[in-house]
Amino acid sequence: MKDIETIRAKQAFIIDMDGVIYHGNRLLKGAQEFVEWLGKNDKAYLFLTNSSERSPLELSQKLERLGILVDPEHFYTSALATASFLASQRPGGSVYVIGEPGLIQALYDAGFTMNNVNPDYVVVGEGRGYSLEALERAVHLITGGARLIGTNPDRTGPVEGGIIPACGSLVAPIELATGVKAYFVGKPNPLMMRHGLRRLNTNRENTAIIGDRMDTDIVAGVESEIETVLVLSGVTRLDDIPSFPYQPRHILEGIFEIPE
């Protein structure tokens, strides 16, 4: 199910990264050609990723190492969306963070301070710093009144060798231990989609979202009434699709099918 010309006719694109553009440090087929096609055809585009580990500058540098030049302004992460949301809720608040520098920096830039004693929020993202000690601290702080925030609900993420646990899986033990449900800011939360549309300065009718996950990318597009394009180069397999109550508008083998 695909209509390539309908996809190509869109003036703006919201694009996932992991499983669409690359797996870990391996560029996927057609990624460079797709980005070149966007530029040559004056398309507005934003890489909207649920990953919270890297800043837009670091993501830009990663693509450059893989051979694709994209300015940092074309990236928006769940870390930035989380920081923006918390700043709107509690300006100048404090947080205890389990995550990488991209998330910590976004929160600093939004006016938050780090606090491992009595923070307003416990914020969890992906990262190698997740440990039993950090888990125990998070549980203690939440039972003491801190609110639990997850940067995104993804349970797994694609890498070169398969899949790895992502934010949703890391938050789950904290939820189980405290009985508190996390609030997730990343896709499919409509907040992040609205942030993306505003940054593109466009509307939903002129936009398509391209992603590899039915449970985040595609449902986000469906709920936001944006044209949905599922690529089978990441997490979702073709035989997974019928089990979902919503369906993508287009299904592609990979991003390589879009450039002319």
Catalytic residues: 16, 18
The tokens describing 60, both together, are 């830009």
Distance in angstroms (rounded) separating the CA atoms of residues 20 and 164: 16
> Residue 15, Cα to own-chain centre: how many angstroms?
10
Closest by CA position to 55, among listed 118, 107, 2, 119: 107
> Residue 253, Cα to own-chain centre: how many angstroms?
21
* Residue 210, amino acid: I
Beta strands in the chain (DSSP E): 12-15, 22-23, 26-27, 44-49, 75-77, 94-98, 113-114, 121-124, 147-150, 156-159, 162-165, 183-184, 207-211, 227-231, 250-252
Closest by CA position to 92, among listed 77, 75, 112: 112
